[in-house]
């Protein structure tokens, strides 16, 4: 059973109207919205994190969701894990034709892996970390990026990041996050969860 799941299937509202989500740092409530039963960016000026309030219980964790839109020329990340705040997280972004697995630590961003590929929309994206092993996969392509990170060894939250001016745009649906600590994962986590 998934520890946390949000299908955003509720009336249109600011995402943080639900106690499950918090903005970090605090920003305009409309920056993240539930819109037509999807999570939507509605960023007019600010750079912000939206963080799930349910810790996974382990830093061996995954976050995944159906990606509906990914900003292609900015630093926005539709999935984050081991999230502490706006300056500390692991994330995946699709930028200029590449999937970039990134590590942000103390405000500095490093690319762990960059792989050219076709942007996959309307299907699951999954980001996970087990120990120092970090990987990203899509439903169609399987594992795309892998990398190593020692950052944020105790962080247990997931979420999203946006850094661009975007009028109300659906970005993600069916978000879930959970621990991968037990039982041991012995195969493709996505295949094990469907």
Nearest to 134 by CA among 125, 123, 145, 124: 145
For residue 16, the SS3 value is helix
Nearest to 65 by CA among 14, 122, 13: 122
For residue 17, the SS3 value is helix
The domain segmentation of the chain, as residue ranges, is 4-193
CA atoms 2, 49, 111, 144: torsion sign: positive
Q: Which letter does DSSP use for residue 184 in this model?
A: P
- Whole-number Cα distances in Å, 162 to 34, 42, 169, 174, 178: 15, 9, 12, 18, 22
What is the mean predicted confidence (pLDDT) over 83-98?
A: 89
Structure tokens at 72: 């292609």
Q: Which letter does DSSP use for residue 100 in this model?
A: E
Task: Note the pLDDT of residue 179.
Answer: 94
Task: Note the pLDDT of residue 116.
Answer: 92
**Fold of the 4-193 domain:** Jelly Rolls (2.60.120)
Cα–Cα distance, 140 to 18 (Å, whole number): 32
Higher pLDDT, 119 or 66: 66
What is the mean predicted confidence (pLDDT) over 12-16?
A: 90
Cα–Cα distance, 191 to 162 (Å, whole number): 29
174-191 pLDDT tens trace: 999 999 975 544 455 555
What is the mean predicted confidence (pLDDT) over 151-171?
A: 79
Checking if the pLDDT of 21 tops 60, the result is yes
Higher pLDDT, 164 or 60: 60
Checking if the pLDDT of 146 tops 80, the result is yes
Checking if the pLDDT of 70 tops 90, the result is no
pTM: 0.86
Q: Which letter does DSSP use for residue 57 in this model?
A: S
Task: Note the pLDDT of residue 185.
Answer: 47
């Amino acid at each position: 059973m998934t520890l946390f799941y949000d299908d955003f299937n509720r009336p249109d509202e600011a995402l943080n109207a639900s106690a499950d989500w918090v903005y970090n740092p605090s920003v305009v409530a409309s920056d993240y919205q539930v819109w037509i039963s999807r999570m939507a960016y509605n960023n007019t000026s600010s750079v912000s994190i939206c963080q799930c309030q349910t810790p996974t219980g382990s830093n061996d964790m995954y976050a995944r969701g159906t990606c509906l839109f990914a900003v292609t020329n900015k630093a926005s990340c539709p999935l984050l894990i081991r999230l502490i705040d706006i300056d500390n997280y692991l994330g995946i972004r699709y930028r200029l034709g590449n999937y970039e697995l990134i590590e942000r630590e103390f405000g500095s961003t490093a690319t762990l892996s960059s792989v050219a590929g076709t942007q996959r929309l309307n299907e699951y994206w999954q980001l996970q970390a087990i120990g120092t092993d970090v990987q990203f996969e899509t439903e169609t392509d399987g594992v795309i990026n892998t990398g190593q990170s020692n950052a944020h060894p105790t962080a247990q939250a997931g979420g999203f990041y946006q850094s661009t001016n975007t009028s109300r745009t659906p970005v993600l649906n069916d978000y879930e996050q959970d621990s991968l600590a037990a039982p041991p994962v012995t195969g493709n986590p996505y295949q094990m969860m469907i």
